[in-house]
Structure formats: structure tokens, C-alpha cells
Amino acid sequence: MIALLMRDLRLAVRAGGGFGLGLAFFLIVVTLVPFGVGPEGKILARIAPGILWVGALLACLLSLDRIFALDYEDGSLDLLVTAPVPLEGVVSIKALAHWITTGLPLVVAAPVFGILLHLPQGAHVWMVISLLLGTPALSVLGTFGAALTVGLKRGGLLLSLLVLPFYVPTLIFGAELVRRGAEGMNTETPLLMLAGITAATVALVPFASAAAIRVNLR
């Protein structure tokens, strides 16, 4: 499994386009928003948590279709399915690799982008915490969508339609956590809910994804 993780990471870094592309997309979103709503710091500070979360969500979505598509095309997915490692484990590792290449850079870069959007000082730590807790759920749910659409020729748009509704709870609690953190309110409830959603999805969704892949390769 570790070998699979290393393989996926190496592929993401060396094949080009995967690693860092999500981050660049995140930067573009953050740059475009002030053009749209105007440069006043007050407005930007108010909407910053939402923008950063929606940006993270879209950046995550952008790289989902390559989770299984490349392996499906060159046939290595068939080998992975017949390998002695359980498919649920393979799916979890794929999600982890996706998170390391897209989720983790977003977490690290979020404070910098927060400065661009005049995110209040106290909210930065909450931004990082919320992304750290929330982005794994995005990756795991993304593998489910990717698993559903893996056999399709033009699955990209369908993938977005399928996956985005699943992101709603994570988005709500993630953005709420940062908003409450920025205003110095009690953050316990959204923090626990966000952690709970992520824990549950990481534990349960790989089974659904594995089932979908088995169907698609039948």
C-alpha cells in the first residue's frame, strides 16, 4: 500500500500538471474575486472565509477525474483490483495521495491567500484548522464521484454535478467554523461537526467507491 502511495505521488509530481495546478487555480480564484466585488478591505474580509472554502472546493474538484481515469486507460486499475490488497484500501490510498497533492498544499497556502483577502488576524488559525479537517472529506468524496464516472468517455461535467452536492455539509461547517473564529465566537460545534463528517466519510465512503469500481470493471 505504501508502494502504491509512493507511485501515485511520483506520478502526480513527475507527470506534470497535477501537482501545483490546483494551487495555481486556487490563486486565480482568489485573485479574480476582488476584481468582481471591488477592492474594499471590509467586504473582502467578510466574504474571505467563503471564498477560500469555495476556492478550495473547486481546486479539489478540478483534479478529481485523474484519480482513476489514467489508471483505467492504461489497464493498471484492473491489476489493482485483482491485487491482494483489498480494493477499499486501494481507494483510501488513492484518496490520500489526492489529498497530499491537492488538499495539503491548499492548507499550507491558505494563510497567504487569507492575507490577500484581508482575512482578520485571528481567523487564520481557524482557516488552517478547518481546511485541515475538511479537505480529507473532499478527497474521499471525490474518489466516490470519480469511481462512479470512471468508465465514461466524457465524465467531467457529470462528475461535478455528482460530487458538488456531496460537498455541501463540509462547506457549510468549514466556512461557519472560520466565520465564528473570525468573530471570536464559540467554535466548538462546527469544529466537532466538521471533524465528525470527515471521520465518517473517511471510514465509510471507500466501501461505496470500491463497489462502484468493481461494477465499472465488470
Partner 1 sequence: MSIWEYANPVKFMKTTDKILPWTVGIAAITLIVGLVWGYFFVPAAENFGGSVKVIYVHVPAAMMAINIWVMMVVTSLIWLIRRHHVSALAAKAAAPIGAVMTLIALITGAVWGQPMWGTWWEWDPRLTSFLILFLFYLGYIALWAAVENPDTAADLTGVLSLVGGVFAVLSRYAANFWNQGLHQGATLSMDSEQHIADVYWFPLLLCLAGFVFFFLALVLIRTRTEVRARRLGAIQQRERMA
Q: Hey, CA dihedral for 111, 198, 157, 88, is it positive or negative? A: positive
Residue 159 CA to residue 144 CA, distance in Å, equals: 10
Q: How far is the CB of 56 from partner 1 (least distance, A)?
A: 17
Instruction: Output 119 or 194, the one with its CB closest to partner 1.
Output: 194
Closest CA relative to residue 180, chosen from 130, 118, 106 = 130
The Cα 77–Cα 73 span in angstroms is 8
215 binds partner 1 (CB under 8 A): yes
Torsion of the alpha carbons at 68, 70, 73 and 76, rounded to the nearest 10: -70
Q: Does residue 206 bind partner 1 (CB under 8 A)?
A: no
Nearer CB in complex with partner 1: 12/193: 193
Q: Is 8 in the site for partner 1 (CB under 8 A)?
A: no
Rg (CA), the chain: 18
Site pattern 133..172 for partner 1 (x: CB under 8 A): -----------x---xx-xx--x--x--xx-xxx-xx--x
The binding site for partner 1 (CB under 8 A) comprises 144, 148-149, 151-152, 155, 158, 161-162, 164-166, 168-169, 172-173, 176, 189-190, 193, 197, 205, 208, 211-212, 215-216, 218
